[in-house]
Amino acid sequence: MAYRDGSSNDDVQGERVERIEATQISVDRSAVRFLRTDEAQVERAAIQRLHSNRAELSQSAIGKADFERGTVRQSSAGIIVGRSVALDEVRTGILIAPVVRGDVHTWLDMRSAVAIGFGIALGRLAIAAVRGLGRKLTG
């Protein structure tokens, strides 16, 4: 696997690359283990970890994407973390973003995580109250 570091603009097409660090990059039909860039355009690629300020992904598979602003179309991802995310026909395991637009199917998003956490807290409180009441009645 190749390494590409430090270039300002880069195009990767039909390659397997271990690590890429660039200012701007275009990735097409490639497999990349780690990609760090200011701006990324990814089409029909597999990316294990992506860290970018702005990213546009289309018909790709992503393990973990972390970006400020991103657009993801017709793709699958394990984890998407972003400040502003636009999604179109996307499936993801975990989505963490305050601003989300579009069609996305998630297993766990921020709203669900808050609801689960609130439910767990209420459950613990109820169990503690029942135990305290039981001790009071028996003692």
> By C-alpha distance, which of 105, 99, 67 is closest to 86?
99
pLDDT digit string (tens) for 64-85? 999 999 999 999 999 999 999 9
Decide if 75 contacts 60 (C-beta within 8 A): yes
pLDDT for position 108:
72
pLDDT-derived band of residue 51, with 50, 70 and 90 as boundaries?
very high
Check residue 118 and give its pLDDT. Answer: 82
d(CA 125, CA 113) in angstroms, rounded, equals 18
pLDDT at 2 over 60: no
Q: Which of the listed ranges 3-17, 75-89, 119-133 does the model predict with the highest average pLDDT?
A: 75-89
Q: How much of the chain, in percent, has pLDDT values that exceed 90?
A: 52
pLDDT digit string, tens, across residues 33-42: 999 999 999 9
Question: Who's near 39: CB < 8 A, 6+ residues apart?
Answer: 23, 24, 25, 52, 53, 54, 55
**Helix, strand, coil fractions of the chain, as percent rounded to 5:** 20, 70, 10
Mapped onto helix, strand or coil, the DSSP state of residue 25 is strand
Give 110's DSSP letter. Answer: H
Using DSSP's 3-state secondary structure scheme, residue 74 falls into coil
